[in-house]
Amino acid sequence: MSRLPEGFLWGGATAANQLEGAYLEGGKGLSTVDVVPAGKDRFPVALGKMKMFECDENHYYPSHEAIDFYHNYKEDIALFGEMGFKTFRLSLAWSRIFPNGDDETPNEEGLKFYEDIFDECLKYGIEPLVTITHFDVPMNLVKTVGSWRSRKMVGYYERLCTTIFMRYKDKVKYWLTFNEINMLLHLPFMGAGLVFEEGDDVEAIKYQAAHHQLIASAKATKIAHEINPNFKIGCMLAAGNTYANTCAPEDVWKSMEKDRENYFFIDVQSRGEYPNYAKKMLEKLNINIKMENGDLELLKENTVDFISFSYYSSRLTSADPEINAQTEGNVFATLKNPHLKASEWGWQIDPLGLRITMNAMYDRYQKPLFIVENGLGAVDNPDENGYVEDDYRIEYLREHIKAMKDAVNEDGVELMGYTPWGCIDLVSASTGEMKKRYGFIYVDKDNEGKGTLKRSKKKSFNWYKKVIESNGEIL
Ligand code: BG6
């Protein structure tokens, strides 16, 4: 019979800035995501092209209140417990713990907040799965050192990691160093706090910042294993294999190149060295990464324990410039695949693509995988009680879970768990909207920030509960 392993970590995933709100409460400092507005300026700011270092009155900033998990976490975690979650993925807001990023001592109120959350999870038998940074840098570090452009960030990040590993060493076992680390290339401000000036060599800055994050990730892995050898540290990739539009060798070549752009990060984090193709690519771009003595050894000796990733869709590419009908995807747009349907936001739906992606990653790294994001962003229409008949969401998840089970049972891929994105409705990272919903739990709030914030169960809530209860047998 096709079964998932005992102890499979079913759960759900979130991120601090899209969930918590209370953006300046409890001693928290301003962070990059707090100055990314909704509306037409969102992309220019997220790309690092438009400077927004403070909030102003002309914009609406969705992270400020988000869904106010800060004041509702007990109720929300109780609902996760009711669904039978084995794990809950959340991220820490760096500036809640070190409000300026470079503080000598941490903010006790921030540390206590996360400690209470972990205790609340453990009460229901839920293992926290913690992303150390999810699109989040204290703004002070952007202003003073230019964020991840600077090597100094490695030290600040190290301090954060030592603090949280020590404090939570008996409560948290699973850690992810950087959410979607490859997002740095595509949304440099959102992903890494990078802002560009006229005349900057943008590519060189991005790859230097990437080196700093890779070093920081290896250091975190080292410190983690020293503090608690049972810790499991993962990297995190915005995944989704790139298909070639035709069997023309040029198309196939292009698709391989596209995948390498993203795999580059995980190749370093998992295999411990810059791959030759990346060295050649940097050479061609005339980019000379500044390294310190010991960097290469550090990377080699501190590779991750597992590979986590988000999967929403496959991608498509062509070497023929005439073929250019694009559709939206998880931040980077892709060519439209005529064989696939798409969500209301144009993200194409490809369950088999998940199986393909899992196999490609497992073949490449031979380490356990963890699907830490997957799901359908859709408009929900609740009745007067907040009940949503979200069969479309159930359908999406069912097909992806089937594909995931095939990868495990038919192909032998090792998989630790599955945490669908936005298990409770939250703010969309790409658009800043509330109406792009992923949750099993509906939250009464609209794009303009109006609503009671009341939580209610959607149809998918009980469906997912049964999926977990039966360890994926009843779909
Ligand atoms: C991933 C991010 O890119 O996709 C999440 O890690 C994000 O933060 C998720 O929310 C879904 O994207 P969106 O744009 O629909 O919120």
The answer to whether position 410 is within a domain reads: yes
The answer to whether position 260 is within a domain reads: yes
Q: What is the pLDDT of residues 439-469, one digit of tens each?
A: 999 999 999 999 999 999 999 999 999 999 9
What pLDDT is recorded for position 49? 92
What pLDDT is recorded for position 318? 95
Joined together, the tokens standing for residue 46 give: 């997220």
Please state the rounded mean pLDDT for residues 50-54.
94
Number of domains in the chain: 1
Q: What is the pLDDT of residues 364-399, one digit of tens each?
A: 999 999 999 999 999 999 999 999 999 999 999 999
The mean pLDDT value of the chain amounts to 96
445 φ, ψ to 5°? -160, 145
**DSSP secondary structure, 397-459, as one string:** HHHHHHHHHHHHHTT---EEEE--BTSB----TTT--SSSB--SEEE---TTS-S---EEE-H
Joined together, the tokens standing for residue 313 give: 């869709």
CA dihedral 143, 148, 150, 156 (to 10 degrees): 80
Range of the domain at 343: 9-470
182 in ligand 1 pocket by Cβ < 6 Å?
no
Q: Which residues contact 224 (CB under 8 A, 6 or more apart)?
A: 161, 165, 175, 231, 233
Q: What is the pLDDT of residues 294-310, one digit of tens each?
A: 999 999 999 999 999 99
Pocket test for ligand 1, best of 36, 421, 447 (most atoms within 8 A of CB): 421
What pLDDT is recorded for position 3? 79
Helices (H) and strands (E) counted in the chain, each on its own, are: 16, 16
Q: What is the pLDDT of residues 417-441, one digit of tens each?
A: 999 999 999 999 999 999 999 999 9
CB 13 within 8 A of CB 422: yes
Q: Reply yes or no on whether the pLDDT at 1 is more than 60.
A: no
The answer to whether position 242 is within a domain reads: yes
The answer to whether position 276 is within a domain reads: yes
The answer to whether position 1 is within a domain reads: no
The answer to whether position 475 is within a domain reads: no
310 in ligand 1 pocket by Cβ < 6 Å?
yes
What pLDDT is recorded for position 41? 96
Please state the rounded mean pLDDT for residues 343-368.
97
The candidate with the shortest Cα–Cα distance to 32, out of 110, 139, 133, 109, is: 139
Say how far apart CA 427 and CA 437 lie, in whole Å: 8
The answer to whether position 169 is within a domain reads: yes
The answer to whether position 362 is within a domain reads: yes
For the domain that residue 329 is a member of, what is the CATH number? 3.20.20.80
Q: What is the pLDDT of residues 218-263, one digit of tens each?
A: 999 999 999 999 999 999 999 999 999 999 999 999 999 999 999 9
Other beta carbons within 10 Å of 176: 27
Nearest CA to ligand 1 atom 8: 429
The candidate with the shortest Cα–Cα distance to 179, out of 296, 265, 267, 73, is: 265
Q: What is the pLDDT of residues 356-365, one digit of tens each?
A: 999 999 999 9
The atom of ligand 1 lying closest to the CA of 428 is 16
CB 135 within 8 A of CB 17: yes
What pLDDT is recorded for position 333? 74
Q: Reply yes or no on whether the pLDDT at 327 is more than 90.
A: no
CB 101 within 8 A of CB 140: yes
Nearest CA to ligand 1 atom 2: 429
Strand partners, 174: 129, 232
Q: Reply yes or no on whether the pLDDT at 210 is more than 80.
A: yes
Nearest CA to ligand 1 atom 9: 429
Label residue 124 by pLDDT band (50, 70, 90): very high
CB 84 within 8 A of CB 134: no
377 in ligand 1 pocket by Cβ < 6 Å?
yes
Say how far apart CA 405 and CA 87 lie, in whole Å: 19
- Tell me 25's DSSP state: G
Percentage of the chain beyond pLDDT 90 is 96
Joined together, the tokens standing for residue 188 give: 């440099």
